[in-house]
Amino acid sequence: MKQYFNFCWCLLLCLTCFIGQGYAQQVTVEAKLDKSTIALGDQTVLRLIARLPVAEQLSFPALTDTISSKIQIVEIGKTDTLKDASNPAVHTISRSYVITSFDAGIQIIPSFAFTTKSASFNTISIPLEVKGVKVDTTKAIFDIKQPIAVSYTFMDWLRDNWHWVVFAAVCLFMLGGILYYFKKMQKVKPVLAVPEKPAVPPHLIAIEKLKELRNKKLWQQDAVKQYHSELSDVIREYLEKRYGINALEQTSDEILSGLKFTEIKEEDRNMLRQVLLLADLVKFAKATPLNTENELSMDNAIRFVTHTSVLSPIAENKTDQRNETV
């Protein structure tokens, strides 16, 4: 019985070792350098690599600023994951660190521990050789060299500052345009005094139109309505200019009522009344006046205009001068 128990124990121990060894063979970790030898203060890349099943979770070592007292971390790179083309169930995870050292000699990068839920895996320590700078103590110490003088031409300056030159040119152009515009606007153009033509007195205009109307001989050609219509229009235009009333838009009664308080003699009022009323009878009542009535309207119109005429100031001055001369 005791021999059987010892046999089972040994068998269980062997199986455990075999399973652990098989699992360990599935996870491999590695640390390597891009350059194992650097100059003092130079940099190289440390890469931590782990190969493990896709379903497995692995924790990288926590590195911050330094690896050791003589090796500093300059930059921590990103973590890269690469699947195995020959075995999709396995992938490789790598992380890079830019490191440097300012102590000459062989510096040892220690072992790093990777952990999973059930096991821990360590890399092997690797050496980093840091070479110092050789100084020739036999030579004298020289001062720092001054900057080399380089010729800087106007074309070089223009090439470096061309945008400012263009900006200044545009501003000057716009300023010149604004000044020219205001100067042109403020320039006073000489105004040529055009002598005004002397205003023709309204009675002369009316007399001239009445003479032209008489020469047309409209009523002699049976155009009685046109004759009296034009005769009435000439008189109405004269009344508007002479007395300032809206005679062209008023009826004959309104015109006569509006002239009631003006200095028009009764004889002249009767002549105006005869012209306007006979014209209304011909235009609106289709009356046919006698030849003597047609001629009387023309005579009365001319006499009315002549009796009520007022000379313009220029004409009055000329008349006064003629009277003084006489």
Cβ-proximal residues to 85 (8 Å cutoff; 6+ apart), any chain: none
Q: What is the pTM of this model?
A: 0.39
Is 5 a residue whose pLDDT tops 50? no
Identify the pLDDT of residue 132. Answer: 85
Measured between alpha carbons, how far apart are the two ends of the chain, in Å? Answer: 182
Beta bridge partners of 135: none
Say if CB 49 and CB 92 are below 8 A apart: yes
Is 313 a residue whose pLDDT tops 50? no
Say if CB 48 and CB 77 are below 8 A apart: no
Say if CB 225 and CB 282 are below 8 A apart: yes
Identify the pLDDT of residue 183. Answer: 83
Q: Tell me which of 49 and 144 has the higher pLDDT.
A: 49
The hierarchical CATH code for the domain 26-131 is 2.60.40.10
Q: How far apart are CA 107 and CA 66, in angstroms?
A: 13
Q: How far apart are CA 169 and CA 214, in angstroms?
A: 77
Say if CB 51 and CB 90 are below 8 A apart: yes
Identify the pLDDT of residue 194. Answer: 65
Q: Across residues 58-68, what is the average pLDDT?
A: 90
Q: Across residues 243-264, what is the average pLDDT?
A: 88
Say if CB 77 and CB 161 are below 8 A apart: no
Say if CB 94 and CB 130 are below 8 A apart: no
CB atoms within 10 A of CB 126: 15
Q: How far apart are CA 56 and CA 119, in angstroms?
A: 11
Helix (H) or strand (E) holding 279: helix 266-284
Q: How far apart are CA 98 and CA 105, in angstroms?
A: 19
Identify the pLDDT of residue 326. Answer: 33
SS3 category, 68: strand
CB atoms within 10 A of CB 15: 10
DSSP string, 72-125: EEEEEEEEEEEE-SS-TTEEEEEEEEEEE--S-EEEEE---EEE-SS-EEEPPP
- Side chain identity at 301, as an amino acid letter? A
Task: State pLDDT tens for residues 97-140.
Answer: 999 999 999 999 999 999 998 889 999 999 999 998 776 677 77
SS3 category, 22: helix
Helix (H) or strand (E) holding 171: helix 162-186
CB atoms within 10 A of CB 152: 9
Task: Give the domain ranges of the chain.
Answer: 26-131, 202-309
Cα 304 → chain centroid = 72
CB atoms within 10 A of CB 308: 23
Question: Edge to edge, what strands does the sheet with 37-39 contain?
Answer: 37-39, 126-131, 105-109
Beta bridge partners of 28: 51
